[in-house]
Structure 1
Amino acid sequence: MIRRLFKWLAVLSIAGIAIAAGGFWYTFMSPYGYHPAEPAIIDERIPEQDVFVYGTLRYDWLRWIIMGTPAETREATLKGYRRQDLDIQPQAGAEVTGEVLTVTPDALKALDRYERLGVRYTRESVKLENGDTAWVYKRLPE
């Protein structure tokens, strides 16, 4: 009886892992999972661009899954905005702490896909506290 239970638990575990892996593939790699309203503008001539991240993209393991490579980060502050759930909103005197990633055009495309650019988020250029310019993802109105 116990042996049979372990057998079914193993089968269910393997099925769960396969479903999760399929979901990641569909979401981040397949040609079927994402169709932006309009293609993002990415200048391929610029070898590296900075992206300010303030939410889930601060997790190393998640960035590695999305971009397929690790990314070094540095702490940064975005003044004049406040964080509201999964978004940032302009607000005088407020600031959002986060990190800056320096990414390749291919990595920027992967981040755009993760953020569902044109569907859930827009990508805008902002000036950070230290004077550097970086991309930031802002939630589209629903």
Structure 2
Amino acid sequence: MQGARNAALLSNAVFCGPAATRDAQYDMAQFNSSSSPGKQTPAVRAHGTARIVGEVYEVDGAGLAALDRLEQNGTRYQREEIQLLDGSRAWIYLLLVAEAPSADQGRILVAPDGSQSWQRREP
């Protein structure tokens, strides 16, 4: 995500624009980061009731492999293909592990329509 802690991983990616999930079947929560101790990180979980708003990037194979390593694909998160509100398709990482969210949920932004997004800048 532009301006986020791991944005450098997207330095060779093409920014396609903002996007939202088609289905309101997700939930975003804030957790203590496993890769950056002392920091907070967002996670999207399945079986919720909200659309998730974020950004879409086009990445090459090496970029996707780097993101999979960061997200611990298959262990901590599972990369799944979803449909976006505009009808296109994209990958999303869904949290696999049962983990208690952080007590601080202040960086989860909820829009009037109930959609959820993540405040990029570290506090």
Q: TM-score, normalised by structure 2?
A: 0.57
| C-alpha contact 2:43 2:95 (8 A) present in aligned 1 | yes
> Are the equivalent residues in 2 in contact too, given 1:77–1:98 (CA < 8 A)?
yes
Superposition deviation, residue 120 in structure 1: 1.1
Q: Kindly tell me the number of residue pairs found equivalent between the two proteins.
A: 84
Q: Secondary structure at the match of 1:95?
A: coil
Asked if the contact 2:71/2:93 (under 8 Å) is kept, the reply is yes
Could you say which residue in structure 2 is the equivalent of 1:130?
A: 86
Q: SS of the counterpart of 2:52?
A: strand
Cα distance in 2 between the residues matched to 1:140 and 1:67: 23
Structure with the larger RCO, 1 or 2 (CA within 8 Å, 6+ apart): 2
- Select the structure that is richer in helix: 1
**Aligned counterparts of 1:76 and 1:68: Cα–Cα separation in 2:** 19
Partner residue of 1:91 out of 48, 60, 68:
48
Instruction: State the match for 2:6 in structure 1.
Output: 62
Deviations 1:54-89 (A, max 9, x none): xxx44366232x355354240001131231223223
Aligned equivalents of 2:74, 2:82: Cα separation in 1: 18
Query: What residue identity is the alignment partner of 1:77?
Result: A
**In 2, Cα distance between the equivalents of 1:73 and 1:62?**
18
Instruction: List gaps (5 residues or longer) in structure 2.
Output: 31-41, 99-123
Q: Which has the higher strand share?
A: 2
Structure 1, unpaired ranges of 5+: 1-56
TM-score normalized by the length of structure 1: 0.51
2:49 aligned with 1:105, yes or no?
no
